[in-house]
Amino acid sequence: MNEVMVSAEGVRKHFGRLEVLRGIDLEVRAGEVLCMIGPSGAGKSTFLRCINHLEKIDEGRLTVDGELVGYREHSGRLYELRDREVGQRRAQIGMVFQHFNLFPHMTALENVTVGPLKVKHEDKGAATERGREMLRRVGLADKVVAYPRQLSGGQQQRVAIARALCMQPKLMLFDEPTSALDPELVSDVLDVMRSLADDGMTMVVVTHEMGFAREVGDSLVFMDEGVIVESGPPKSVLTSPRHERTQAFLSRIL
Amino acid sequence: MGTAEPAKTPGRPGADTQVVPLRHPGRPRTEMQVVPLRHPGRWVAAAVVCLLAAMAVHSLFFSNVKRDGVTESRFEWDIINHYFFSTGVLEGLGVTLALTAVAMAGGILLGVVLSIMRLSPNPIVTGSSWVYIWFFRGTPVLVQLLFWYNAAYIFPSFTLGVPFGPALAHFNLNSWLTPFVAACLGLALNEGAYMAEIIRAGIISVDEGQTEAAQSLGMSRLQALRLIVLPQAMRVVIPPTGNETISMLKTSSLASVVVAPELLFRVEQIYAANYYVIPLLMVASLQYLWVTSVLMVGQYYLERHYARGAARQLPPTPLQRLRRWLLIRPDEHRWARLAHPKTVPLAGYPHE
């Protein structure tokens, strides 16, 4: 069995009086692809954002690769990390957003190299070379000098994946990466994600693509109202869900 | 098949599947003449504007007036011409430009700091920025200038050192706070308050997802601000900043009140001696006008620079447009089209 990459124990999060996560227990092992499904407002995206500390958790314990997210434990106390230290941990986790969030004032190549250059202070030549290689890998070798506005949604999302990969992360988080795309562009992005999974990347994917979850996912989690309702191998959860909320959700979307 | 068969398209026998006819089935395909709409109102408006312009040009350059029995040109262009390049005026212009540059540079710097303070999570920092903006926007800039000019009366000396402890450096404000320094201070401190609001508006205009994406790459809050947010905010910040610069160029004339030797002050000095009030005010106005024009061109190209990535394709510059306009056939010129509106043959029949 591989080592544990992400571990959550009783993770809770609320925005004001609204409880978004009500005790999440979950484990992702290195090399595993975990897909999270569920109705909107279930807390999937919030949980994903907690993993790289874009949201602070209120209760529970969340670790990535054995290190607490956002805190340092020392003699029975939790010390909040500085902005720089949080950054150093985030640099090891790639994140892909629903709305791409590419930097519009930079070309595709500048988008993918800004992290290695400014955060990891890498040599410009090496960073550029790897940037080109990553863009080639996502099938955009000819779009190196294009600005995001000049690219289609699917191309933009593939640049966003290349941007995350250029940081050589040990974990990739995908927040509904295909939800903002035209249907015919979805498959390009899913193909890139599939090849990443084949290479053994650890991935947590919030998605509505049941086909992708079934084929690529090693495990599947169904969330509703801030709790994990059901989890297990994708095929069994999708074909024979045990919980009635899962059954109701799946019958509505399949 | 269904009972209600749609009308078959003529000329397409054998097409028994459902075909929606694009053209009217009964009518043949024709070439139609399209007569453009005439706009007589535009011609009338153009004529009125041309007439008014001609009257203005005549009164400015070609009309004479009798003063004390002597006929001379109304606006005394020879005098304007003489003083336009005089040493006093050019020195004044130099001081005006220096004042504008220093005040704007100081204002922008202060504005960046104040706007970042305003967005800080620390309420004391946010509050102090708010109080600064409240005070400096709430009092007239002329009063602020007069205050700095007279500041040496309240604070005759200025000491740098450990608070309530030993002094490290000592300034005598009476000699240090010259009219130029007082004007720079007053204008820059006032401008800082306005620039802070302009830059804050720019920062808020950038989508929060940009900061999140930058942070998820491992950037710190300040790195994300400097590398990702501020360059995008520039697009929103530059037009009002250009506006502020042009406004500052002219606001700097208020410094004449505190005897800073800028353009208006020098001009006033000259006409106080020779009584050529109007020609010298024309000289000052024309000087302000040409500097403003240069600033406008600079702003245009600066805006283009920061529009990178915001538009799929940048629109051509006026120079590029002129070159293209000169290269096309004369009868395609807009003026030619205005004079001879052609009827354009239109192929086919618009579908119904």
Average pLDDT, chain A: 94
- How confident is the model over A7-28, as pLDDT tens digits? 999 999 999 999 999 999 999 9
Average pLDDT, chain B: 85
* pLDDT at residue number B15: 44
Q: How confident is the model at residue B2 (pLDDT cuts 50, 70, 90)?
A: very low
Which residue in chain B is spatially nearest to A147 when comparing CA positions?
Answer: B309
Q: Which fold has domain B92-160+168-319?
A: MetI-like fold (1.10.3720)
Is a pLDDT exceeding 90 seen at residue A51?
Answer: yes
Q: How confident is the model at residue B230 (pLDDT cuts 50, 70, 90)?
A: very high
Whether B90 has its CB under 8 Å from any CB of chain A: the answer is no
- How confident is the model over B262-296, as pLDDT tens digits? 999 999 999 999 999 999 999 999 999 999 999 99
* pLDDT at residue number B18: 55
* pLDDT at residue number B346: 54
Is a pLDDT exceeding 90 seen at residue B25?
Answer: no
Q: How confident is the model at residue B8 (pLDDT cuts 50, 70, 90)?
A: very low
Q: How confident is the model at residue A86 (pLDDT cuts 50, 70, 90)?
A: very high
Whether B113 has its CB under 8 Å from any CB of chain A: the answer is no
Is a pLDDT exceeding 50 seen at residue B9?
Answer: no
Helix boundaries (H) for chain B: 40-57, 77-84, 87-118, 123-138, 141-149, 151-154, 173-176, 179-205, 208-216, 221-223, 230-251, 263-274, 277-306, 318-327, 334-339
Whether B121 has its CB under 8 Å from any CB of chain A: the answer is no
* pLDDT at residue number B338: 57
Is a pLDDT exceeding 90 seen at residue B152?
Answer: no
State which H helix or E strand residue A182 sits in: none
Question: In chain B, what percentage of residues exceed pLDDT 70?
Answer: 83
DSSP output for B213-257: HHHHTT--HHHIIIIIIHHHHHHHHHHHHHHHHHHHHHHGGGGGG
Domain assignments of chain B as residue spans, ordered by start = 92-160+168-319
Q: How confident is the model at residue B351 (pLDDT cuts 50, 70, 90)?
A: very low
Whether B218 has its CB under 8 Å from any CB of chain A: the answer is yes
Whether A74 has its CB under 8 Å from any CB of chain B: the answer is no
* pLDDT at residue number B45: 97
Flag whether the ipTM exceeds 0.90: yes
- Residue A225's SS3 state is coil
Structure tokens at A4: 């544990």
User: Which residue in B220, B227, B308 is closest to A114 by CB distance?
Assistant: B227
Cβ–Cβ below 8 Å for A103 and B228: yes
Q: How confident is the model at residue B322 (pLDDT cuts 50, 70, 90)?
A: confident
Cβ atoms of A150 and A105 closer than 8 Å: no
- How confident is the model over B160-219, as pLDDT tens digits? 878 877 877 887 877 888 999 999 999 999 999 999 999 999 999 999 999 999 999 999
How far, in Å, CA of B351 to CA of A100, rounded?
41
How far, in Å, CA of A122 to CA of A65, rounded?
23
Which residue in chain B is spatially nearest to A120 when comparing CA positions?
Answer: B218
Cβ–Cβ below 8 Å for B309 and A167: no
- How confident is the model over B63-76, as pLDDT tens digits? 888 888 888 888 88
Residue B157, beta-bridge partner list: B172
- How confident is the model over A186-211, as pLDDT tens digits? 999 999 999 999 999 999 999 999 99
Residues of A in contact with B207 (CB under 8 A): 101
